[in-house]
């Protein structure tokens, strides 16, 4: 069975009713506790979904340059990000983003595991940011 992005969106809406928000045909968001994850797909890449979460505003970090160096080191082989890539957005915030196969998210507890992974990654990087206060 071929799983499409809209199937993933339907599953997310079913499992996270109160935290689901549709944002068009190829995107939706989930809010779980204080964590807001954005899911989207690209037209030329239909078997994968991108998952993105805002970690923190760099304006809230006293030494953002030193923190950014630590974040770049965390990207090395994704050792400190559980597979996600950290980057700084145009809004001067640190984000974690990952490309995952849609069928992996749709299979069993894949979506819940994704939410948990990103929750742990955000908590970890928020804790690390305190070292640069």
Q: Tell me the pTM.
A: 0.89
pLDDT in tens, 58-104: 999 999 889 988 988 888 888 788 889 999 999 999 999 999 999 99
Rg of the chain over Cα atoms, rounded to whole angstroms, equals: 15
What domains sit in the chain, N to C, each tagged with a CATH number?
A: 5-132 (3.30.1460.10)
Backbone angles phi, psi at 66, to 5 degrees: -65, -40
Res. 1: pLDDT tops 80? no
CA angle 96, 98, 102 (to 5 degrees): 145
User: Per residue in 112-133, pLDDT tens?
Assistant: 999 999 999 999 998 988 888 6
12-30 burial: b if 16+ Cβ within 10 Å, else e: beeebeebbeeeeebbbbb
**pLDDT (tens digit per residue) in 35-66:** 999 999 998 888 999 999 999 999 999 998 89
pLDDT at 9 over 90: yes
């Amino acid at each position: 069975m071929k799983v499409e992005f809209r199937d993933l969106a339907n599953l997310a809406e079913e499992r996270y009713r109160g935290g689901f928000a549709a944002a068009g045909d190829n995107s939706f968001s989930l809010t779980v506790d204080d964590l807001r994850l954005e899911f989207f797909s690209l037209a030329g890449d239909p078997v994968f979904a991108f998952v993105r979460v805002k970690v923190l505003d760099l304006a809230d970090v006293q030494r953002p340059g030193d923190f950014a160096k630590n974040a770049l080191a965390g990207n090395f082989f994704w050792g400190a990000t559980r597979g996600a890539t950290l980057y700084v957005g145009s809004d001067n915030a640190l984000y974690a983003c990952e490309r995952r196969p849609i069928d992996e998210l749709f299979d069993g507890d894949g979506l819940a595991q994704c939410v948990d992974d990103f929750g742990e990654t955000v908590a970890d990087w928020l804790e690390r940011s305190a070292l640069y206060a």
